[in-house]
């Protein structure tokens, strides 16, 4: 049987000289779960995500993706992960379809042609199929980035502010797509956001990080009441 946790982080720490960016963080992401990573600028969210992505070496601590320890079998662990960030543009001189094809080949996606068609339909990108990514609006590019991140049906999907550049109706639609991914598939999602309304709607659990430590953790719809506040915004700001 596949494990119920897709990500397990234990006592993760990252230090730059005298600056401790991440200070002993432990958390899990379950299969079919969306976990929100919240916190003010400089809290350590990006540093945490970059360590999970394998692009930053932790000072100490452990990261397991499903049952694989990242530091030991890096490529095997990372093959189960994918990442989408609103600030990471795709090659602009390739069309939407070419971009999906190139990344699909890199990921070794089986049945790639059909998978691309599914994702073009799912993210409302069919009419942009032959358009170069560089001329798309930022919201359209975000949709391509999300489709690209889902190409290989990752077990762990890392989303860094995925709706930041989207209009309200597209953002709602994207949240629904990501909920579908989490509830119907085999994966879990780690999501960073500064939008409390969105977090409340989409996340099953939130981790509130400040100065590299998790200060609060829980169900975003219950946490405020548990701490005598009316809204998440009141609790965190």
The residues of the shown chain that bind ligand ATP, judged by CB under 6 A, are: 16, 19, 21, 39, 41-47
**CA 66/CA 135 separation, integer angstroms:** 38
State the residue for tokens 């100490």: 60
Question: Both tokens of residue 208?
Answer: 């509130």
**CA 179/CA 185 separation, integer angstroms:** 10
Residue among 55 and 121 whose Cβ is closer to ligand ATP: 55
Q: At its nearest, how many Å lie between ligand ATP and the CB of residue 170?
A: 22
CA nearest to 208, candidates 223, 222, 221, 198: 223
Residue among 123 and 208 whose Cβ is closer to ligand ATP: 208
Q: At its nearest, how many Å lie between ligand ATP and the CB of residue 5?
A: 23
Q: At its nearest, how many Å lie between ligand ATP and the CB of residue 57?
A: 12
Q: At its nearest, how many Å lie between ligand ATP and the CB of residue 39?
A: 5
Q: At its nearest, how many Å lie between ligand ATP and the CB of residue 37?
A: 8
Residue among 16 and 75 whose Cβ is closer to ligand ATP: 16
Residue among 45 and 177 whose Cβ is closer to ligand ATP: 45
Q: Using an 8 Å Cβ cutoff, are 138 and 89 in contact?
A: no
**CA 82/CA 150 separation, integer angstroms:** 7
Q: Using an 8 Å Cβ cutoff, are 37 and 207 in contact?
A: yes
Q: At its nearest, how many Å lie between ligand ATP and the CB of residue 19?
A: 5
Max intra-chain CA distance, the chain? 53
- The SS3 call for residue 62 is strand
Question: Both tokens of residue 121?
Answer: 């339909």
Residue among 6 and 43 whose Cβ is closer to ligand ATP: 43
- The SS3 call for residue 98 is helix
Residue among 21 and 70 whose Cβ is closer to ligand ATP: 21
- The SS3 call for residue 94 is coil
């Amino acid at each position: 049987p596949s494990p119920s946790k897709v990500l397990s982080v234990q006592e993760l720490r990252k230090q730059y000289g005298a600056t401790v960016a991440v200070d002993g963080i432990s958390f899990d992401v379950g299969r079919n779960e969306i976990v929100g990573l919240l916190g003010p600028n400089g809290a350590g969210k990006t540093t945490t995500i970059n360590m999970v992505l394998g692009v930053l070496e932790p000072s100490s601590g452990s990261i397991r993706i499903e049952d694989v320890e990242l530091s030991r079998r890096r490529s095997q662990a990372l093959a189960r992960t994918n990442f989408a960030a609103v600030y990471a543009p795709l090659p602009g001189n390739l069309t939407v379809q070419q971009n999906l094809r190139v990344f699909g080949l890199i990921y070794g996606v089986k049945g790639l042609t059909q998978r691309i068609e599914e994702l073009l339909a799912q993210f409302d990108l069919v009419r942009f199929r032959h358009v170069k990514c560089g001329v798309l609006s930022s919201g359209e590019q975000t949709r391509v980035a999300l489709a690209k991140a889902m190409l290989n049906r990752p077990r762990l999907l890392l989303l860094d502010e995925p709706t930041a550049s989207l209009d309200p109706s597209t953002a709602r639609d994207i949240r629904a797509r990501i909920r579908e991914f989490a509830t119907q598939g085999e994966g879990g999602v780690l999501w960073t956001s500064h939008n409390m309304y969105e977090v409340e709607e989409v996340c099953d659990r939130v981790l509130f990080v400040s100065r590299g430590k998790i200060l609060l953790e829980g169900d975003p719809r219950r946490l405020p009441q548990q701490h005598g506040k009316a809204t998440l915004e009141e609790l965190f700001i």
